[in-house]
Amino acid sequence: MDYSSGWVEFKVEIMENWRDLGRWGSETEGRSERDGASDSETKPDTGVPEVPVSADDTPEVLNKALSGLSSRWKNWWVRGILTLAMISFFFFIIYLGPMVLMMIVMCVQIKCFHEIITIGYSVYHSYHLPWFRTLSWYFLLCVNYFFYGETVTDYFFTLVQREEPLRILSKYHRFISFALYLTGFCMFVLSLVKKHYRLQFYMFGWTHVTLLIVVTQSHLIIHNLFEGMIWFIVPISCVICNDIMAYMFGFFFGRTPLIKLSPKKTWEGFIGGFFSTVVFGILLSYVMAGYSYFVCPVEFNNDSNRFTVDCEPSELFQLQNYSLPSVLQSISGWTTVKLYPFQIHSIALSAFASIMGPFGGFFASGFKRAFKIKDFANTIPGHGGIMDRFDCQYLMATFVNVYIASFIRGPNPAKVIQQLLALRPDQQLHIFNSLKAHLTVKGLLPALEEAA
Amino acid sequence: MTELRRRGGGGDPDSTESISDKEADGDDRLGFPGEGEGDMEGDSKADTPDVPPSADNTPECLNKALEGLSSRWKNWWIRGILSLTMIVGFFLIIYLGPIMLILLVMGIQIKCFHEIITIGYRVYHSYELPWFRTLSWYFLICVNYFFYGETVADYFGVLVQREEPLQFLVRYHRFISFALYLAGFCMFVLSLVKKHYRLQFYMFAWTHVTLLIVVTQSHLVIQNLFEGMIWFILPISTVICNDIMAYLFGFFFGRTPLIKLSPKKTWEGFIGGFFATVAFSFFFAYLLSPYQHFVCPVEYNSETNRFAVECEPSNLFVMQEYTLPAVVQNGVRWKTVNLYPFQIHSIALSSFASLIGPFGGFFASGFKRAFKIKDFADTIPGHGGIMDRFDCQYLMATFVHVYIASFIRGPNPSKVLQQLLLLHPEQQLSIFNMLRNHLQEKGMLPPAVEEAQ
């Protein structure tokens, strides 16, 4: 595939080249991030692989059904159908509950890891490097073990304390994880082969960066999920909505380009997407906040050994009266409005999704350009790989997690009690006195002359 | 820069020659892999740097003093003098106390980061890349801010509660750190320049891996330090001792090579070093354990506004009698022996330092060979850069931290208190009552006559 011919007419040439290669014709128009066009990367980067173009793997059934239409519309239809399929799948999974969601997150993580590592292999022609595939998957297992162990210990505390083997595993969890990681590290050192040192170090670095991005963030998603499914659904929906809305606005009104990196993105799309996403976020939160299924933290019920989402909704999810500022009062004629406080938070979340989320997309675009690949993989026909769909989600997941930790959730009282009871008695006494002083100052305790 | 390019264009013969020149001087470098043995990397990566050999920066005074000796002995003397200087410096810093140690760790971290990033620049000829130097240092500052905020805030709990701006910073610490990091991330994305995408991504990844290795582990070192200076001094001394002992045993008895990666290491050195190190740390632990200055957790005394190391030594540092197993009893005719429990732990620590520590050294050797550099930098005459001295230490620091967390330490009381203070008042009250009952049961509190709610 020859990228280095001079691009003069963007659309026509691209269409023709890609049609020749069996890709859908107007891939460029169909894809909102289509950026493979402009930059003529003529830099003499001799180590660059030309990652072979992935074959077209649209299912045959779709091909037949749409064989009548012109290739341009065919592309639209394929993308549209797939988009709808993904969204329905999303709702279906939500219906199935937290366990299934966790497994989906896990699978997505594994697939993303696989995609990025495969790109690394292609870049470095290192597919046949001894041991390396094994080691990459081994490191993935180790890091997942570490994170799942921490999550399980926190949320399934009672279950863990009950079963003896689990208790030991959880008490020495960090040590075991570290030992597993060290084994992998030593295997890596022992596998260094004279001719391939540099490659092996590159792949080692590549694996670790991928783990850092993909695995940690998927665990943050799971943490968000445990806070309440709404903290999982609303952010993801906002990002998807922003994608779609920005594309629509750009398609209909787009005029001024946004950033050189992605020439198809426009300011009109960006701003239009921002406002529509914020509105969408407010409405979606309004719809979801009424159901305890979505807003309750996911808990593991020891007796029934199942996940339950059953609780007294916190204040965030109870309708409250807000008085409108006078400006809005005069316009809409209402003095107060009933909102869930969560809707205010959703404005922050959707603002982040619209403003910062695209940076994740630019990062992925830059990455694809740097390594001269068109898509991360070809898993989803018309859309590319899983990573292509999830590039904006990663920043969002981290933001939501940090947001919850900073503004919403305090420390978990059960956990604090558990830690308190694990301290030495003299330390407990010290804390007791500090707490007493604190509560007395706050007026919650009548001042006593209790001698400690 | 042009000089770099010329060397790069010269290809292998050039580099082999220049390196083998240094080889004559550096022949007796501990564990240094013989570069000249034709490490022909078949990969056709044209962007291999040949990092020019760093100039000899031995101080003039040493040069003059050792003028008379042959160059081989001169090298020995330089290494010996510098080793002694470093060890003396180490003890001086310990004497000066925890704050100095923290500053020292911080300084070393910054220097190591700088060394590795500089190598990255050379590897990718990316020294002139727009913004990149600024961004690397910015990320370093961000990550340090995050970690110092997490650790320091715990230990300075009382001080933090007093000052209002500090309280705000602590409460929203994660959010502020994340915002700072995001700003750097956005700057990176905005700084992507058409012709340099790949380089920029490489440097971005290089920076992050370096941060992961260097910064997180230096913070683990500081957390170990706060547990008690002995948790800092003993592991570091053990690694240094293992280095020296393995070298000496290898020098006198070395015969069978250990690993292809470092041809100068031998099994005799490895095993001899192992036993010598275990014995050394056993005795060193015995020496240090009686002193409060070393074994007490470092605490911040809010009244005097200074660090204090004063406490009731924990069980680990109180002499106990152990009955020797029968086999050993016949051997030495003692029935029991007085030991600090900490000495048993020190055996675990020193075993790790001797058995796994060298893998850190092999990793660094492999790294140097992969990028065809002789040393990380040339900061210490005769020894190379700071990273060269510290490559084994990083694994050790992580191990000690994990060891303490798993086997020694319970939760950190100041952290627990801090979390308590963040809870809702009703939750605090209920915990207060629960704690009071618990302590009364244990007899730590006199049972209250009347305690009005």
Integer Cα distance of B2 and A43 in angstroms: 18
CB burial of residue A89 (10 Å; 0-12, 13-18, 19+): exposed
- Tell whether the model's pLDDT for residue A39 goes beyond 70: no
Q: Which amino acid is at A386?
A: I
Concatenated DSSP letters for A266-328?
A: EHHHHHHHHHHHHHHHHHHHHHHTT-HHHHSPPEEETTTTEEE------GGGS-EEEEPPHHH
Per-residue pLDDT band for A24 (boundaries 50, 70, 90) equals very low
Lowest-pLDDT range, A219-228, A378-387, B181-190?
Answer: A378-387
Give yes or no for A195 touching B (CB within 8 A). yes
What pLDDT, on a 0 to 100 scale, did the predictor assign at position B447? 66
Q: At B58, list the tokens.
A: 């031995």
Contacts of A436 (CB under 8 A, 6+ apart): A445, A450, A452, B432
Chain B residues with beta carbon closer than 8 angstroms to that of A369: 197
Half-sphere exposure (Cβ direction) of A29: Cα atoms closer than 13 Å: 16
Q: Find, in chain B, the residue whose alpha carbon is nearest to that of A193.
A: B261
Average pLDDT rounded to a whole number, residues B231-249: 88
- Tell whether the model's pLDDT for residue A262 goes beyond 50: yes
Contacts of B61 (CB under 8 A, 6+ apart): none
Per-residue pLDDT band for B214 (boundaries 50, 70, 90) equals confident
Chain B residues with beta carbon closer than 8 angstroms to that of A359: 185-186, 189
- Tell whether the model's pLDDT for residue B139 goes beyond 90: yes
Percentage of residues in chain A with pLDDT exceeding 70?
Answer: 74
Distance in Å, alpha carbon of B140 to nearest chain A alpha carbon: 16
- Tell whether the model's pLDDT for residue A20 goes beyond 60: no
- What would the pLDDT profile of A41-64 be if each residue is shown by its tens digit? 333 334 444 444 444 555 666 666
What pLDDT, on a 0 to 100 scale, did the predictor assign at position A140? 93
Q: Find, in chain B, the residue whose alpha carbon is nearest to that of A417.
A: B431
Interchain pair A452, B445: CB under 8 A: yes
Which residue would you say has higher pLDDT here, B12 or A351? A351
Average pLDDT rounded to a whole number, residues B331-341: 79
Average pLDDT rounded to a whole number, residues B357-384: 78
What pLDDT, on a 0 to 100 scale, did the predictor assign at position B24? 31
The dihedral through the CA atoms of B6, B10, B16, B17 has a sign that is: negative
Note the ipTM here.
Answer: 0.75
Q: Find, in chain A, the residue whose alpha carbon is nearest to that of B417.
A: A431
What pLDDT, on a 0 to 100 scale, did the predictor assign at position B141? 93
Chain B residues with beta carbon closer than 8 angstroms to that of A209: 205, 208-209
Per-residue pLDDT band for B180 (boundaries 50, 70, 90) equals very high
Interchain pair B185, A359: CB under 8 A: yes
Chain B residues with beta carbon closer than 8 angstroms to that of A426: 444
- Tell whether the model's pLDDT for residue B308 goes beyond 80: no
Per-residue pLDDT band for A67 (boundaries 50, 70, 90) equals low
- Tell whether the model's pLDDT for residue A306 goes beyond 80: no
Q: At B173, list the tokens.
A: 């610490």
- What would the pLDDT profile of B243-270 be if each residue is shown by its tens digit? 888 888 888 888 888 887 788 888 888 9
Average pLDDT rounded to a whole number, residues B435-453: 67
What pLDDT, on a 0 to 100 scale, did the predictor assign at position A350? 93
Integer Cα distance of A191 and A204 in angstroms: 12
Q: What is the 3-state secondary structure (H, E, C) of A4-40?
A: CCCCCCHHHHHHHHHHHCCCCCCHHHHCCCCCCCCCC
Per-residue pLDDT band for A326 (boundaries 50, 70, 90) equals confident
Give yes or no for A198 touching B (CB within 8 A). yes
Query: What DSSP designation does A196 have?
Result: G
What pLDDT, on a 0 to 100 scale, did the predictor assign at position A336? 78
Per-residue pLDDT band for B142 (boundaries 50, 70, 90) equals very high
Q: Find, in chain B, the residue whose alpha carbon is nearest to that of A441.
A: B425
- Tell whether the model's pLDDT for residue A419 goes beyond 60: yes
When mean pLDDT is compared over A196-205, A370-379, A394-403, B32-41, the highest value belongs to A394-403
Q: Find, in chain B, the residue whose alpha carbon is nearest to that of A43.
A: B195
Integer Cα distance of B158 and B417 in angstroms: 10
What pLDDT, on a 0 to 100 scale, did the predictor assign at position A42? 36
Q: Find, in chain A, the residue whose alpha carbon is nearest to that of B197.
A: A370
List phi, psi (to 5°) of A172: -105, 25
Which residue would you say has higher pLDDT here, B192 or A400? A400
Give yes or no for A174 touching B (CB within 8 A). yes
Interchain pair A410, B197: CB under 8 A: no
Integer Cα distance of B179 and A402 in angstroms: 10
> Measuring CA to CA, how many Å separate B279 from each of A315, B130, B242, B276, B401?
61, 53, 11, 5, 22
Per-residue pLDDT band for A281 (boundaries 50, 70, 90) equals very high
Using an 8 Å Cβ cutoff, are B244 and B424 in contact? no
- Tell whether the model's pLDDT for residue A206 goes beyond 80: yes
Percentage of residues in chain B with pLDDT exceeding 70?
Answer: 73
Residue A46 has its nearest CB partner, among B46, B398, B402, at: B46
Contacts of B386 (CB under 8 A, 6+ apart): B108, B111, B112, B115, B376, B377, B379, B380
Chain B residues with beta carbon closer than 8 angstroms to that of A197: 39, 41, 366, 369-370
Integer Cα distance of A192 and B362 in angstroms: 10
Average pLDDT rounded to a whole number, residues A319-324: 78
Percentage of residues in chain A with pLDDT exceeding 90?
Answer: 9
Per-residue pLDDT band for A279 (boundaries 50, 70, 90) equals very high
Interchain pair A366, B413: CB under 8 A: no
Average pLDDT rounded to a whole number, residues A397-406: 87
Of A280, A152, A277, A284, give the one whose Cα is nearest residue A230.
Answer: A284
Per-residue pLDDT band for B217 (boundaries 50, 70, 90) equals confident
- What would the pLDDT profile of A108-132 be if each residue is shown by its tens digit? 889 888 888 888 777 776 666 667 7
- Tell whether the model's pLDDT for residue A420 goes beyond 60: yes
Interface of A with B in 391-430 (CB under 8 A): 395, 398-399, 402-403, 405-407, 410-411, 413, 416-417, 419-430
Percentage of residues in chain B with pLDDT exceeding 90?
Answer: 9
Mutate to test the interface with B, among A116, A122, A197 (most CBs of B within 10 A): A197
What pLDDT, on a 0 to 100 scale, did the predictor assign at position B381? 66
List phi, psi (to 5°) of A185: -60, -45
Mutate to test the interface with B, among A127, A194, A362 (most CBs of B within 10 A): A194
Give yes or no for A128 touching B (CB within 8 A). no
Beta bridge partners of B321: B338
Per-residue pLDDT band for A6 (boundaries 50, 70, 90) equals very low
- Tell whether the model's pLDDT for residue B32 goes beyond 50: no
The SS3 call for residue A59 is coil
Of A79, A76, A35, give the one whose Cα is nearest residue A266.
Answer: A35
* Mean model confidence pLDDT for chain A: 75
Helices and strands in chain B, H and E counts: 19, 6
When mean pLDDT is compared over B113-117, B124-128, B405-409, the highest value belongs to B113-117
Of A329, A326, A345, A341, give the one whose Cα is nearest residue A399.
Answer: A345
What pLDDT, on a 0 to 100 scale, did the predictor assign at position B292? 79
Give yes or no for A252 touching B (CB within 8 A). no
Interchain pair A39, B369: CB under 8 A: no
Average pLDDT rounded to a whole number, residues B390-409: 84
Lowest-pLDDT range, A222-226, A270-274, B72-76, B241-245?
Answer: B72-76
Provide the number of CB pairs (under 8 Å) joining chain A to chain B: 213
- Tell whether the model's pLDDT for residue A22 goes beyond 70: no
